[in-house]
Amino acid sequence: MELKSVIGIDATRSHLWCQVKSGKPEMKVDGENRLRHLNWPEGKTKIYLGDVCDTLLRCFGAHEPPILTQPPGFDQQTWKMVIKDSTLRIEIISRSYWGFGLFDSCFLNELVIEGPLDRRARLIFDLVATLGRNPWEPTFGMFWKRATKGSSMDHKDAWEGLVKHAREEMDEEIHKYTNRANELTKKLDEFESGDYHNWQREEAEKALTDANNQLIVAKSALHDNNAAGLERALARAEAALIEADPTTEVTRTVFQEADDLLLEDSLDVDDGVLEEQIMIHDELPEEVSRITPDEIATKTGDVSADDLLSGIDDEPEDDIPFVDLTESE
């Protein structure tokens, strides 16, 4: 179904338009219409991917090989492509909207994104941040409006709505970790009076300080539109909060526990187990004849298939009378 409107926040899909600034990189399309790198040994045609689609592939994450539903023809920058994984599907249409496609900026990319709203919003957030520009701002507004059937305000609201949604979701994650750190700080006295082995308040306070510092880093990353840096900071904060909380029972690392097992007092080994034991086997009797490999080959060379099948079924079987069914009564 051909979409004529601009859609940002929606329950199932988004319909967005992007201004292309560069036609590169150049790639290949194989015999099964799959997108391949330019160094791919086999390829029936070449394609100019464009800066928007190239960035979109990098932000998408792990996905199936993109399929060209309409491979490029004479114009290598005019094509249709589908990118998808288990939850998200994107259809990309690349075509010119002014200047007969003589320049890279003559092209636009139409995006139809289907999937969960949070995933769509995060993808658009990463796309805008990685491009470093507003992809909804066209080179020629008059031709852009005619091609997209939407005003400049419609495009801006759709893109900024998704970016805002993703930012709010990430800010909510930072808020959750901050609340966890505050709750653990209030429970330090309770943990100290409780019976928690291998837990020390000084180490817990240090871990909480590290967690709060990482949350500050996460906020700075969000301010810089760096979603990957935000996730790394939250992961470090998560590790620090687990270390500070004695109820998680993760106060010692795996390496520390391995060192404890190497201590002499940790293992009670019976000295008798460590004594050397020698297994003595009786020699073969002299009357046992040993057959060399050459003799084995000689003795088995005269064996036939009938010899191998003999003795399998020694019981006699009753003869089955032969009846000629071709004779008439």
For 281, the token pair is 């086997």
250, pLDDT greater than 70? no
Task: Give, in order, the Cα–Cα distances in Å from 194 to each of 186, 191, 198, 244, 247.
Answer: 14, 5, 12, 14, 11
Both 202 and 98 in one domain: the answer is no
User: What is the phi/psi pair of residue 75, to 5°?
Assistant: -90, 110
Query: Both 18 and 133 in a single domain?
Result: yes
Pairing mode, strands 107-114 and 89-96: antiparallel
Which residue has tokens 């009564």? 329
pLDDT of 280 above 80: no
Looking at the domain assignment, is residue 144 inside a domain? no
pLDDT digits (tens, 9 = 90+) for 301-320: 555 656 555 555 555 555 56
The CA distances from residue 212 to 13, 169, 232, in Å, are 37, 19, 14
308 versus 226: which is more confidently predicted? 226
CA dihedral 270, 275, 281, 282 (to 10 degrees): -110
Q: Domain of 201?
A: 167-255
Q: Are residues 182 and 249 located together in one domain of the fold? A: yes
The span from the CA of 5 to the CA of 8, in Å, is 10
Q: What's the pLDDT tens digit per position in 228-239?
A: 999 999 999 999
Pairwise pLDDT comparison (228 vs 325), residue with the higher score = 228
Q: Note whether 220 and 242 are within 8 A (CB).
A: no
pLDDT digits (tens, 9 = 90+) for 174-188: 999 999 999 999 999
Of the candidate ranges 120-129, 150-159, 253-262, the one whose mean pLDDT is the lowest: 253-262
Predicted pLDDT at 1: 46
Q: Residue 281: is its pLDDT beyond 50?
A: yes
Indicate the helix (H) or strand (E) that contains 112.
Answer: strand 107-114
Judge if 133 and 171 occupy the same domain.
no
- The confidence band for 157, taking pLDDT boundaries of 50, 70 and 90, is very high
Give the confidence band of 43 by pLDDT, cuts at 50, 70, 90. Answer: confident
pLDDT of residue 308: 53
Residue with tokens 């391949």: 36
In a domain, 124, yes or no: yes
Which has more confidence, 43 or 251?
A: 43
What is the total count of domains within the chain? Answer: 2
pLDDT number for residue 312 = 52
**Same domain for 176 and 100?**
no
The reply to whether 61 and 115 lie within a common domain is yes
Are 175 and 109 found together in one domain?
Answer: no
Q: Are residues 24 and 102 in the same domain?
A: yes
